[in-house]
Amino acid sequence: MSSTSVKRGVRLLNSRKQVLIQDEVTATAGVQWRMQTNATIEVGGTTATLTLDNQKMQVTIVNPPSGATFSRSDAVRFSADPTPPLADQPNPGVSVLIIDLPAGTYTLQVLFNPQWPGMSASDFVTPKSVALDSWTLTSHN
């Protein structure tokens, strides 16, 4: 493992209209943030759009660490990964949303905004940057 410290927080924001995943990482080598989904993934720098059954979710890296952008891949084992004792089962229709991060110490905030009918960008909030150890019931109000 290339990390010496990893903390994760998950928080509902804005009357439960948004979800924030926040990771605080100290890594001695590059690490990868990954999320598997049945949605199709369109990436564009620090934003990605997930689409499933004509429903959309915008995913954004808030205040991204240097060089952090989204990419996508199929849900398959990397060629450099160790071979498991039993072969992996196929994952048809599953994609992986990825953020590659260099070695270092950083906070990664990933914000999920559903694109419901009748909602616009003004209906969403940008979360404050609050260290996980300082999260309280009101720290993001």
Backbone angles phi, psi at 39, to 5 degrees: -75, 155
In a domain, residue 60? The reply is yes
What local confidence, expressed as pLDDT, does residue 3 receive? Answer: 61
What local confidence, expressed as pLDDT, does residue 118 receive? Answer: 86
Provide the whole-model pTM.
Answer: 0.90
Domain that holds residue 25: 3-78+90-121
Mean pLDDT, the chain, integer: 92
Q: How many domains does the chain contain in total? A: 1
In a domain, residue 137? The reply is no
In a domain, residue 128? The reply is no
What local confidence, expressed as pLDDT, does residue 70 receive? Answer: 97
Q: Which residues of the chain have pLDDT under 70?
A: 1-3
Angle (nearest 5°) at CA 60 between 57 and 64:
170
